[in-house]
């Protein structure tokens, strides 16, 4: 029995539930690593880019904050 299957059995969770957690974690880490949202959407196989954006920008306020700071950095201040 593989280590993955032993972990699933020990935690009494379905392998699809754990796979979902791993996908979600990979998406969050990718966003924090500044991977483009379109790339993440394609990596996860989402049919719509907007689904990925809606799901993960609400989960990670850091992404929204970083975007706002990037825009503020290019706005001239006087």
How high is the pLDDT of residue 42? 92
Domain that holds residue 45: 3-74
Q: 3-class DSSP state for residue 67?
A: helix
Residue 34 has pLDDT above 70, yes or no: yes
Q: What pLDDT is recorded for position 18?
A: 62
pLDDT mean over 24-53: 88
Domain count, the chain: 1
Report pLDDT for 39: 92
Predicted model pTM: 0.56
Hunting for tokens 């796979």 — which residue is that? 19
Higher-pLDDT residue of 29 and 59 is: 29
């Amino acid at each position: 029995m593989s280590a993955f299957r032993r972990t699933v059995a020990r935690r009494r969770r379905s392998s699809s539930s754990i796979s979902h957690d791993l996908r979600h974690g990979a998406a969050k880490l990718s966003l924090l690593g500044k991977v483009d949202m379109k790339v993440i959407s394609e990596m996860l196989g989402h049919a719509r880019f907007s689904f990925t954006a809606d799901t993960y920008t609400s989960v990670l306020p850091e992404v929204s904050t970083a975007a706002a700071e990037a825009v503020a950095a290019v706005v001239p201040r006087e």
